[in-house]
Amino acid sequence: MTANSKDTEEQTKDISDEKLNALFELTKSINLNASIAELLKIYREVLEDKLSIGRLMLLSFDGNWRCILSYGIDHDSLEFAIERGKGYSKIKEIVQVNMDSWPHGAELDLVVPVNHKENALAYVFLGDLRESSTGTGSAIKHLPYIQTLTNILVVAIENKKLAKENIHQALLKHELDLAKEIQSILVPSILPHTDELDIAAYYLPFHEISGDYYDFIPLNESEYAFCIADVSGKGVAAALLMSNFQASLHAQIEQTNSLTELVTRLNKNVMDTARGESFITFFIAKFNRHTNTMHYVNAGHYPPILYMDNTVNFLKSGGPALGMLPEIPYLKEGIIAISTPAYLLSYTDGITELENEKDEEFSIEKLKDLFITLVNSGISSKQINDKVAETLTTYKGTKQYTDDVTLLCCRILKRSQLPLFNQG
């Protein structure tokens, strides 16, 4: 054996050892949960320092093709190189790059695909394949190794992303579960159903949680309040804002007899909490059982429908939605003498704005006509809600709900000496 061939054999053994060591270091780092940046650093050191590859661009697919590593390509040329590289996204074998379509400063000679079954995971573009101590064209000899090393790297990165996404989904589920638990506490678990008063609610969230809210609040032996509200927006943020609003409502309603003052205070609370990024439409009514008088304020909410003495009234008196303005410029409190029986239906915009297959909204007028028909049939508040919900399902046809659906139906039947919560 000549001295030159012996040197070449030793050099080949050296580079094989370095390749094995690099593979071991990469897999060890993966097992130790090293960061993506650390894994890419090891990968670059192998290709640039050990295999003498002067230019590299690594494109990875995560819904879109993007460059996760590059070197040897100037900044101005990289964006063009990335776009050119996407054109190779269907190749299955190592091929030469068509240099006619590449900009100056981004010359790359070979593209190495990294596939899993029929799916492309990544593409490695190599250029400036310099000679190393192992001899001319050494980088080309190591293309299968480069392909294997890249496959290990890309799969590890994908696994890290999946693990991170799983953690994110678990945290999101925890947040949703917490928000659902909060919402279940917000609304009353029992509503009155007596000879005097029959109240029922229907609630269908668009997502797992919503920004809709309703409540019934006994104030004293002669008075009670009921309300409905809708936060702009959806999801956890809307649910948390509504949670804060409910707590504020229950605290403030005990401190004042005036609905005008109550709504003014609530507006300030919403402004302080939401900081102008969300608002709440809100309707609240307070009824005196002894005088049969109802006071109400409508703060930007769809007007509830009052049916009494064969006449329909839309309860519109009030002012703007809460949280839209630092100071409410006008606020009118409505006062109505109730003659029994009286029927009141409160609702959120998920009902009136629901569209059918012809893109026609259900509308307040359709809801009003349906409500009158149901009241005259002599059914309970719960049955009225159920019939409205059934009608909505039929009306929308194949179209989906696009918002939360909430109903609060109240039937004031007659004066009675029975407690509000006696189950008649």
243 and 282 co-located in one domain? yes
What's the total number of domains in the chain? 2
**Selection from 97, 105, 162 nearest residue 123 by Cα:** 97
76 and 191 co-located in one domain? no
- Whether 113 and 93 have beta carbons less than 8 Å apart is answered as yes
Domain boundary among 132, 164, 196: 164
361 and 407 co-located in one domain? yes
405 and 321 co-located in one domain? yes
In this structure, is residue 214 part of a structural domain?
Answer: yes
pLDDT of residue 7: 46
In this structure, is residue 301 part of a structural domain?
Answer: yes
Q: What is the CATH number of the domain that holds 9?
A: 3.30.450.40
- Whether 71 and 57 have beta carbons less than 8 Å apart is answered as no
Q: Which two tokens stand for residue 54?
A: 């002067």
Torsion of CA 256, 261, 265, 268, to 10 degrees: -170
DSSP string spanning 215-273? EEEE-SSSEEEEEEEEESS-HHHHHHHHHHHHHHHHHHTTT-S-HHHHHHHHHHHHHHH
pLDDT of residue 240: 78
200 and 65 co-located in one domain? no
Give the range of the structural domain holding residue 387, as residue numbers without chain letter. 187-412
109 and 212 co-located in one domain? no
Strands 95-96 and 110-116: antiparallel
3-state secondary structure (DSSP) of residue 352: helix
200 and 329 co-located in one domain? yes
In this structure, is residue 172 part of a structural domain?
Answer: no
Strands 305-308 and 334-337: unpaired
The whole model's pTM is what? 0.62
pLDDT of residue 377: 94
In this structure, is residue 175 part of a structural domain?
Answer: no
Tell me whether the omega of the peptide bond preceding residue 341 falls within 30 degrees of 0, making it cis.
yes
**Selection from 233, 236, 218 nearest residue 181 by Cα:** 236
Domain boundary among 101, 132, 164: 164
In this structure, is residue 290 part of a structural domain?
Answer: yes
Q: For the chain, first and last CA: distance in Å?
A: 108
Domain boundary among 133, 164, 195: 164
In this structure, is residue 424 part of a structural domain?
Answer: no
206 and 104 co-located in one domain? no
Which residue in this structure is represented by tokens 């093709």?
A: 65
DSSP secondary-structure letter at 321? P
141 and 237 co-located in one domain? no
Q: What is the CATH number of the domain that holds 376?
A: 3.60.40.10
145 and 220 co-located in one domain? no
- Whether 232 and 211 have beta carbons less than 8 Å apart is answered as yes
281 and 150 co-located in one domain? no
Residue 24, sorted as left (phi over 0), alpha (psi -120 to 50) or beta, turns out to be alpha
Measured between alpha carbons, how far is 368 from 360 in angstroms, rounded to an integer?
16
In this structure, is residue 388 part of a structural domain?
Answer: yes
213 and 284 co-located in one domain? yes
Measured between alpha carbons, how far is 113 from 167 in angstroms, rounded to an integer?
30
Half-sphere exposure of 49 (CA within 13 A, CB side): 9
pLDDT by residue for the chain (424 residues), tens only, comes to 554 554 445 555 566 777 788 788 888 888 888 888 999 999 999 888 888 888 888 988 877 888 889 998 887 778 877 887 787 777 888 888 876 666 666 778 888 888 876 777 888 888 887 655 444 345 677 888 888 888 888 888 888 888 777 777 777 677 667 666 766 677 787 899 888 899 999 988 766 666 788 999 999 888 999 999 998 876 677 777 888 898 899 999 988 889 999 999 999 999 998 887 889 999 999 999 889 999 999 999 999 999 999 999 999 999 999 999 999 988 999 999 999 999 999 999 889 999 999 999 999 999 999 999 999 999 999 999 999 999 999 999 988 887 888 999 999 987 655 555 544 4
In this structure, is residue 181 part of a structural domain?
Answer: no
Residue type (1 letter), 216: F
Strand partners, 361: 355
Residues 6+ apart with CB under 8 A from 414: 195, 196, 340, 341
